[in-house]
């Protein structure tokens, strides 16, 4: 699953280049940096690898989402549609720009149900934000059609699906904007970091400026830069970018290993009667970072998660009970437990979720387990793990 598992000499070399000059900042210091521009270089490699015209590195995936929405002009009173199954960062970023997260059901793809999305569109909707959860993709054709029909932005949260593809195009490059996270547990890591991808030059320039206090970046003297509008500091450091540079050069290898180990586990489980698998809109494009499957009922799913943990087979999250990835445990959102004061409109919208049920999402998530795929397993280790998993799952289904 995560690139940190294969951290090594390549990362150390890139970081060392930065340590040699001592210029840890990505902008300015043109002389003393002696030609070392890790963030710039990583942006260029990201554009090349993923086929995006522009890439703006920032300090996190959350910052990437915030920057993308600010650049799109999304703010007060605007609604952004997101799935009930995602990471909390999705609504943090939306609320942060003053907008309202509209949570809608997922389906057996574990991503936005296009029909539920269609039903949630109002005159205030500005964007649809599919989240490509657990390494695999949303139904992008259907969502893109909805965006075209209603004149909405398609914002891809591809933070968990770096290197995945949909019909030949990399996830994150298909919508108006896309975002990756390079936090420590993502498919490739910078330690902390993120990126906004877009083919729109004007939008890219706004992201570049917004993520650096509004600096216009027109000249060589930062102090003389103008500030066309307010921004924030969402900059990535050269040290973090250096790690990412080593990681992106190993992406092909990461994906190859991940897909191999994914296939091994899948082959061990695929014939278990009663077990079904997540629907993947484009199987070819799956990154293989998780294998997600469904038990016949919720009790069995819970028991499988427990039994796997007891057998020492780790990293098989049962998301339904997870505090961070499913709406059921987001009491802080439902209580509008903000430290800062927010608008009444936002507050009411949040508190509305305390009383809204999501039976369709519950029916799927309560039966789902996602098994994380490690890059560190040998083929034999993956085989052994798959064999033990199959034994435990079969036992529980037939009990």
Q: How far apart are CA 166 and CA 179, in angstroms?
A: 15
Under 8 Å between Cβ of 103 and 328: no
Q: How far apart are CA 110 and CA 280, in angstroms?
A: 9
Our finding on whether 60 is near ligand PLP (CB under 6 A) is yes
Backbone angles phi, psi at 177, to 5 degrees: -140, 155
3-state secondary structure of 128: strand
In angstroms, what is the C-alpha Rg of the chain? 21
Residue with CB nearest ligand PLP?
61
Our finding on whether 62 is near ligand PLP (CB under 6 A) is yes
Nearest CB to ligand PLP, comparing residues 111 and 316: 111
Candidate ranges 84-92, 224-232, 311-319, 374-382; the one touching ligand PLP (CB under 6 A): 84-92
Nearest CB to ligand PLP, comparing residues 244 and 386: 244
HEC assignment per residue over 44-80? HHHHHHHCCCEEEEECCHHHHHHHHHHHCCCCCCCEE
Q: How far apart are CA 302 and CA 359, in angstroms?
A: 18
Residue from 159, 171, 295, 390 touching ligand PLP (CB under 6 A): that is: 159
- 186 among known catalytic residues: yes
Our finding on whether 136 is near ligand PLP (CB under 6 A) is no
* From 38, 165, 186, 250, the catalytic residue: 186
Residue from 68, 70, 80, 131 touching ligand PLP (CB under 6 A): that is: 131
How far apart are CB 61 and ligand PLP at their closest, in Å? 2
Q: What x/- string results for residues 343 through 372 when contact with ligand PLP is judged by CB under 6 A?
A: ------------------------------
Under 8 Å between Cβ of 60 and 193: yes
Q: How far apart are CA 252 and CA 257, in angstroms?
A: 9
Core vs surface per residue 182-199: b (16+ CB within 10 A) or e = bbeebbbbbbbbbbbbbb
Candidate ranges 42-50, 82-90, 142-150, 233-241; the one touching ligand PLP (CB under 6 A): 82-90
Candidate ranges 12-20, 30-38, 154-162, 278-286; the one touching ligand PLP (CB under 6 A): 154-162
Candidate ranges 43-51, 58-66, 75-83, 220-228; the one touching ligand PLP (CB under 6 A): 58-66
Our finding on whether 157 is near ligand PLP (CB under 6 A) is yes
How far apart are CB 318 and ligand PLP at their closest, in Å? 17
Cβ neighbors of 14 (< 8 A, separation 6 or more) are 38, 242, 243, 245, 246
Under 8 Å between Cβ of 46 and 55: yes
Our finding on whether 160 is near ligand PLP (CB under 6 A) is yes
Q: How far apart are CA 53 and CA 247, in angstroms?
A: 20
Our finding on whether 180 is near ligand PLP (CB under 6 A) is no
Our finding on whether 183 is near ligand PLP (CB under 6 A) is yes
Return the active site residues.
186
Binding residues (CB under 6 A) for ligand PLP: these are 60-62, 86-87, 89-90, 131, 157, 159-160, 181, 183, 194
């Amino acid at each position: 699953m995560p690139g940190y598992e294969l951290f090594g000499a390549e990362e150390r070399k890139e970081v060392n280049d930065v340590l040699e000059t001592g210029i840890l900042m990505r902008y300015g210091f043109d002389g003393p940096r002696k030609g070392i521009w890790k963030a710039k270089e990583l942006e260029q490699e990201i554009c090349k690898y993923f086929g995006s015209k522009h890439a703006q590195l920032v300090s996190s995936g959350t910052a990437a989402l915030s920057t993308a929405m600010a650049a799109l002009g999304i703010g007060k009173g605007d609604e952004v549609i997101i799935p009930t199954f995602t990471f909390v960062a999705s609504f943090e970023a939306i609320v942060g720009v003053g907008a309202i997260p509209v949570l809608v059901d997922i389906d057996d793809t574990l991503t936005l149900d296009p029909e539920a999305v269609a039903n949630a569109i109002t005159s205030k909707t500005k964007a649809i934000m599919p989240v490509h959860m657990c390494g695999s993709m949303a139904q992008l054709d259907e969502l893109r059609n909805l965006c075209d029909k209603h004149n909405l932005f398609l914002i891809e949260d591809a933070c968990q699906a770096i290197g995945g593809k949909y019909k030949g195009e990399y996830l994150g490059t298909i919508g108006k904007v896309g975002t990756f996270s390079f936090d420590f547990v993502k498919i490739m890591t910078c330690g902390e970091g993120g990126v906004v991808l877009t083919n729109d030059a004007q939008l890219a320039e706004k992201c570049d400026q917004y993520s650096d206090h509004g600096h216009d970046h027109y000249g060589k003297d930062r102090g003389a830069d103008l500030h066309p509008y307010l921004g924030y500091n969402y900059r990535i450091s050269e040290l973090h970018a250096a790690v990412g540079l080593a990681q992106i050069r190993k992406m092909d290898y990461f994906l190859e290993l991940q897909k191999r180990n994914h296939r091994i586990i899948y082959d061990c489980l695929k014939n278990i009667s009663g077990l079904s698998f997540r629907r993947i809109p484009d199987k070819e494009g799956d990154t293989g970072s998780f294998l997600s499957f469904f038990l016949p009922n919720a009790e069995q799913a819970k028991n499988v998660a427990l039994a796997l943990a007891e057998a020492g087979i780790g990293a098989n999250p049962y998301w339904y009970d997870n505090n961070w990835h499913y709406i059921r445990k987001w009491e802080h959102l439902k209580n509008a437990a903000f430290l800062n004061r927010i608008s009444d409109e936002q507050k009411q919208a949040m508190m509305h979720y305390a009383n809204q049920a999501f039976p369709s999402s519950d029916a799927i998530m309560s039966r789902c387990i996602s098994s994380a795929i490690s890059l560190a397993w040998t083929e034999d280790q993956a085989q052994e793990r798959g064999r033990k998993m199959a034994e435990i799952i079969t036992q529980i289904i037939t009990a």
